[in-house]
């Protein structure tokens, strides 16, 4: 990773594994569906074994597991590309994308939530009806990729897809680009106007769950202990999906998401190992914070 201040860091896990690190603190029933090469175990094996994760969702369709380089801008936005060069992306980019059948073969009536960060023009969305048929009780979370937000040509397509998922997520800079807003308050109103549940991330300030015409805010946790915020969006969005699908109070969902993000920021890469003791600690802290914030808001 190349940061805006010129510093660098490398050699740690990344990508959508961060989303797993948002669900795993609160549920063991999580499967990571991804594409990889035969060297996947070399990079991810120890993490999977430490956390009791199944490799069933790994689709071995690439010659090498993707190794990405991220360039950060000062506002937190980032751009990524392959360590193996443009030719690797050109030859294997399409094969690396998640396909409909990758999802449907692991989906059933017990599936409660499915998270995507797929681009709006990726083929997996053409199979959304098929995915919903395979997982009739699941709610679909879409974390809109920054590259889609930055592409005015797909704005209408983004809007159409938001209508067809159950909940979506984006951050403050992305909201300003997409909605043409200039302030956090304007973005919140624009999200309310869409009338679709949204997990809205506002950086080190915290996050909102916006649904049913209300915006439930909880402040971030442990910002002063942050080592690296990479993946906190994926991580907290994973938790938001979990809370939304479990029918938790929107504010409780945001609190849990912020706690997961705080763990994620303690080190480079995802939090190393989740335990039952940690889960109990997080849930207890979430209960206390929830009661306090509800009292502060004078809500019963």
CATH number at residue 160: 3.40.1190.20
Name, in order, each residue with C-beta under 8 angstroms of 78's C-beta and a sequence gap of 6 or more.
70, 71, 72, 146
Give domain status of residue 223, yes or no: yes
Give domain status of residue 46, yes or no: no
Give domain status of residue 7, yes or no: no
- Residue range 231-256: average pLDDT? 98
Q: What's the pTM value of the predicted model, to 2 decimals?
A: 0.94
Give domain status of residue 85, yes or no: no
pLDDT number for residue 72: 84
Give the residue among 123, 57, 55 at the shortest CA–CA distance from 93: 123
DSSP letters for 248-271: --HHHHHHHHHHHHHHHTTSSSS-
Given a contact cutoff of 8 angstroms between Cβ atoms, the answer to whether 17 and 32 are in contact is yes
Q: Comparing 3 with 155, which gets the higher pLDDT?
A: 155
pLDDT number for residue 61: 96
Mean pLDDT taken over the chain: 95
Whole-angstrom CA distances from 110 to 52, 114, 140 are 20, 12, 14
pLDDT number for residue 77: 74
- 295 pLDDT band, cuts 50/70/90, is very high
Give phi and psi for 209, each to the nearest 5. -110, 120
Question: Could you list the residue range(s) of the whole structural domain that residue 216 is in?
Answer: 98-296
Give domain status of residue 214, yes or no: yes
Q: Comparing 249 with 70, which gets the higher pLDDT?
A: 249
Helix and strand numbers, DSSP H then E, in the chain: 12, 10
pLDDT number for residue 282: 98
Give domain status of residue 212, yes or no: yes
- In this model, does residue 95 exceed pLDDT 60? yes
pLDDT number for residue 299: 65
pLDDT number for residue 165: 99
Give domain status of residue 239, yes or no: yes
pLDDT number for residue 9: 85
- In this model, does residue 71 exceed pLDDT 80? yes
Give domain status of residue 186, yes or no: yes
Neighbours of 180 (CB within 10 A): 11
Give the residue among 279, 140, 154 at the shortest CA–CA distance from 196: 140
- Total number of domains in the chain: 1
- Residue range 31-50: average pLDDT? 97
pLDDT number for residue 245: 98
- In this model, does residue 137 exceed pLDDT 80? yes
pLDDT number for residue 48: 98
- In this model, does residue 300 exceed pLDDT 80? no
Given a contact cutoff of 8 angstroms between Cβ atoms, the answer to whether 165 and 124 are in contact is no
């Amino acid at each position: 990773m190349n940061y805006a201040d010129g510093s660098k860091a490398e050699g740690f896990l990344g990508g959508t594994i961060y989303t797993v690190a948002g669900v795993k603190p609160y549920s063991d029933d999580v499967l990571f569906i991804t594409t990889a090469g035969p060297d996947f175990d070399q990079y991810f094996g120890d993490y999977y074994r430490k956390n009791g994760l199944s490799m069933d969702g790994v689709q071995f369709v690439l010659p090498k597991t993707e190794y990405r380089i991220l360039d950060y801008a000062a506002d937190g936005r980032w751009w990524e590309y392959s360590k193996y060069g443009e030719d690797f992306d050109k030859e294997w980019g399409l094969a690396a994308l998640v396909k409909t059948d990758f999802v449907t073969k692991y989906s059933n009536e017990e599936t409660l939530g499915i998270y995507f960060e797929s681009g709006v023009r990726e083929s997996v969305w053409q199979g959304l009806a098929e995915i919903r048929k395979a997982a009739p009780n699941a709610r679909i979370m879409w974390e809109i990729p920054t590259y889609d937000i930055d592409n005015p040509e797909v704005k209408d397509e983004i809007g159409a897809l938001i209508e067809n998922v159950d909940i979506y997520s984006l951050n403050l800079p992305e909201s300003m680009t997409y909605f043409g807003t200039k302030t956090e308050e304007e973005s919140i109103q624009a999200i309310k106007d869409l009338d679709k549940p949204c997990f809205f991330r506002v950086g080190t300030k915290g996050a909102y769950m916006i649904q049913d015409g209300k915006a439930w805010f909880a402040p971030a946790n442990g910002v002063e202990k942050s080592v690296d915020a990479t993946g906190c969006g994926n991580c907290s969005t994973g938790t938001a999906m979990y809370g939304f699908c479990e029918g938790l109070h929107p504010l409780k969902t945001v609190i849990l998401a912020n706690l997961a993000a705080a763990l994620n920021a303690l080190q480079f890469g995802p939090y190393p190992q989740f335990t039952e003791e940690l889960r109990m600690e997080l849930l207890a802290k979430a209960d206390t914070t929830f009661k306090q914030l509800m009292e502060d808001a004078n809500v019963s």
